[in-house]
Chain A
């Protein structure tokens, strides 16, 4: 079922990675596909700036059993987008346009009140702002998102309370998602609890737009994606490439093919990019190189260090989908590998729904990228299992 065949640019002995582990990894993916836990799988491993393993298996389109997932297939990366958002924030920090301990209320006036004014930019990066967590984070039986409350924040256009001034009306429409996101009470005071919040990253995206003077998605493409030569990475996948995109259900297909009016929607800073093994590898290698790739400087070394080391005080707890973690650690944007993981401490990255993962491993000077598209709500074998096999391969 493999597509491009075994890809080895350098000998396994040079990498310090056990060739048996790579075989185990591929068997693992094939088994998950056979068991219908995942539709397909693709992975890339690098060492010291060279890709030494890359392969892809399984079906490209859920509608066509004969379609083939290739190693340059485009796939949604979901929350891995958050690493790009964090990168944008750090670029702006370096330029002095904003700072980590800055109150969000200095950028977004809806935060200018006793309830929200203490939230600072770094709280949003570390998921400790107290803003609403992603639906399902608390394992609540009836999840809902801020988009379910949008209806309550539409400006009146009729009746005695109608907003008649066109500028005011436009302002209310543009802030509708923000007020909806802030509705009710925060989960906690800032800095106290870890609650995974894509909503918080939507707010970061808005801050990037306002601080840079250009829409967030445009900023990311111009200042990060294009300079890194990530030519198959997009928020909106061009139609001519739709045949090279992996979809696992109708919802995903509609997301890319149907027209969506995003005029008053937040920019997709919490999740929304699409990419490939090679492109994510380039981004990861940039981080591994402390911010520069092929002579292009995206970030300073100090920004990469901050993004990838713990930014939380001790005693921060996180419900964490039932994990109930007592002393949470998290980077300023990046998820940090735990002490009991098969990948070494010091490695960091992000997972994405759908699923996929990007891991930067400084100890082994390695970048790990894998896609394991799956319709299952819960498929730990495809993420934890995959990570463990990769971690077990280092000699």
Chain B
């Protein structure tokens, strides 16, 4: 039984005062995270906050691992960020558009012949980015009683029964959920398809492309698809399954779907750098990653009158950017763009406040209001 949970502080380059942030809110944030760690809602919490490019808070509390006698979660601990991977994929797609190699509204079938049939020819790169292709959504999206297996598992089982089949065919097997462009249906397999487009067009594997064109130029040295052995003990996880993935990563072959929807491991600092690059018009670490124009387009709403019935909600005019959510939640400025990830974690960028907020709240419970929504309110209400 602990009365206080130790808080670890990472490097900063400004004080909260210099950043125009009420220091009291940082204390409230830490107290709040500490209380939900004590109540068992989350295993740990870590966050990084930056304003106008200067990091003014960079902290962690709680445990790195789920077992007894675990080490503490540190500000530079690594964690699998799952769906935040999607914005890396989106950035890669926009790089290829910047370079004139693909364009937004073209049919996927020009690049992937598996789509060259009456049912799938209407699917465009835009639709995959915005989750409006009409392909079947992630299991659980409709809170259905029996979820279909995840597409990676489906692909590996299908290969056993039908050896000649390729994973793209498996991912688009069965009838469409909706006709393209009709409904917002969150679709991770759509991002695997984007990953395949990146690979096909660049001539490299998806992972290699991301490494060469984003991770290396941006200096993201703690971001990996496969965590190197020397870092594995610094990776946070919440159950045996995650732990096994860290220490016994599966060898990926071209026959398997890529991980463009959910495969990256990263750290708070790297997530901040990536968000800061978006805020700074596409430049980071002295290198241009993206054009200003592609950032403008990624971070605004592109949908009109579309319905979303995901996760028990009903939205009749759902808004989404090109890969990025443009929901400005409770107190965030309109113009805020973000992506969250399972497990749970998030990266928010508020261009009006010039704020970048990245957080990890590892928990076997996944998303909870206490670990995601309340901290957001504390952060935005601290802006002076």
Interface residues of A (CB under 8 A from B): 110, 113, 115-116, 133, 137-144, 148-149, 151-153, 160, 179-180, 182-185, 187
Q: Which B residues touch A183, using CB under 8 A?
A: 144, 146-149
Task: Offer 14 A-B interface pairs, CB within 8 angstroms, sorted by A.
Answer: A133-B175, A140-B119, A140-B174, A142-B174, A149-B148, A149-B154, A152-B149, A160-B240, A180-B146, A183-B148, A183-B149, A184-B139, A184-B146, A185-B136
Smallest CB gap from B175: residue in A? A138
Q: Is B329 an interface residue (CB 8 A)?
A: no
Q: Which B residues touch A144, using CB under 8 A?
A: 158, 173-174
B146–A153 contact, CB under 8 A? yes
Q: Is B70 an interface residue (CB 8 A)?
A: no
A148–B148 contact, CB under 8 A? no
Q: Is B161 an interface residue (CB 8 A)?
A: yes
Tell me whether A141 and B148 are in contact in the complex, defined as CB-CB below 8 angstroms, given that A151-B157, A160-B240, A187-B175 are known contacts.
no
Q: Is B169 an interface residue (CB 8 A)?
A: yes
Q: Is B17 an interface residue (CB 8 A)?
A: no
Q: Which B residues touch A133, using CB under 8 A?
A: 175
Contact among B117, B145, B149, B240 for A113, CB-based, below 8 A: B145
Q: A116-B145, A138-B119, A183-B147 are in contact. List 11 more A-B contacts (CB 8 A).
A: A138-B176, A139-B119, A140-B175, A142-B169, A142-B173, A151-B153, A152-B149, A179-B146, A184-B136, A184-B139, A185-B144
Q: Which A residues touch B136, using CB under 8 A?
A: 184-185
Smallest CB gap from B185: residue in A? A185
A149–B149 contact, CB under 8 A? yes
Q: Which A residues touch B148, using CB under 8 A?
A: 149, 152, 183-184
Q: Which B residues touch A148, using CB under 8 A?
A: 157-158, 161
Cα A377 to Cα B103 with chains together (Å): 38
CB distance from B304 to the nearest CB of A (A): 24
A152–B153 contact, CB under 8 A? yes
Q: Is B384 an interface residue (CB 8 A)?
A: no
Q: Which A residues touch B240, using CB under 8 A?
A: 160
**Count of interface residues, chain B, beta-carbon cutoff 8 Å:** 27
The 7 lowest CB-CB distance pairs between A and B, nearest first, are A152-B149, A142-B173, A141-B117, A138-B175, A184-B148, A113-B145, A183-B146
Smallest CB gap from B150: residue in A? A152
Tell me whether A139 and B145 are in contact in the complex, defined as CB-CB below 8 angstroms, given that A133-B175, A151-B157 are known contacts.
no
Within 8 A of A (CB), among B129-179: 136, 139, 142, 144-149, 153-154, 157-158, 161, 169-170, 172-177
Q: Which B residues touch A142, using CB under 8 A?
A: 169-170, 172-174
Q: Is B120 an interface residue (CB 8 A)?
A: yes
Most chain B CB within 10 A, of A142, A143, A149, A151, is at A142
Cα A21 to Cα B155 with chains together (Å): 53
Interface residues of B (CB under 8 A from A): 117-120, 136, 139, 142, 144-149, 153-154, 157-158, 161, 169-170, 172-177, 240
B175–A141 contact, CB under 8 A? no
Contact among B144, B153, B158, B169 for A184, CB-based, below 8 A: B144
B119–A141 contact, CB under 8 A? yes
Smallest CB gap from A160: residue in B? B240
Q: Which A residues touch B149, using CB under 8 A?
A: 149, 151-152, 183
Contact among A110, A139, A143, A180 for B174, CB-based, below 8 A: A143
Smallest CB gap from B162: residue in A? A148
CB distance from B135 to the nearest CB of A (A): 12
Smallest CB gap from B173: residue in A? A142
CB distance from A281 to the nearest CB of B (A): 37
CB distance from A17 to the nearest CB of B (A): 42
A143–B173 contact, CB under 8 A? yes
Cα A173 to Cα B158 with chains together (Å): 21
Q: Which B residues touch A160, using CB under 8 A?
A: 240
Q: Which B residues touch A184, using CB under 8 A?
A: 136, 139, 144, 146-148
Q: Which B residues touch A180, using CB under 8 A?
A: 146
CB distance from B181 to the nearest CB of A (A): 18
A141–B120 contact, CB under 8 A? yes
Cα A265 to Cα B300 with chains together (Å): 51
Cα A202 to Cα B175 with chains together (Å): 20
Q: Which A residues touch B117, using CB under 8 A?
A: 141
Q: Which A residues touch B145, using CB under 8 A?
A: 110, 113, 115-116, 182
Q: Which B residues touch A187, using CB under 8 A?
A: 175
CB distance from A364 to the nearest CB of B (A): 39
Cα A139 to Cα B139 with chains together (Å): 24
Q: Which A residues touch B119, using CB under 8 A?
A: 138-141
Q: Which A residues touch B146, using CB under 8 A?
A: 110, 153, 179-180, 182-184
Q: Which B residues touch A139, using CB under 8 A?
A: 118-119
CB distance from B156 to the nearest CB of A (A): 9
Cα A149 to Cα B146 with chains together (Å): 11
Cα A265 to Cα B120 with chains together (Å): 33
CB distance from A106 to the nearest CB of B (A): 17
Smallest CB gap from B174: residue in A? A144
Smallest CB gap from A159: residue in B? B240
CB distance from A161 to the nearest CB of B (A): 10
Q: Which B residues touch A141, using CB under 8 A?
A: 117-120, 169, 172
Q: Which A residues touch B153, using CB under 8 A?
A: 151-152
CB distance from A305 to the nearest CB of B (A): 34
A185–B142 contact, CB under 8 A? yes
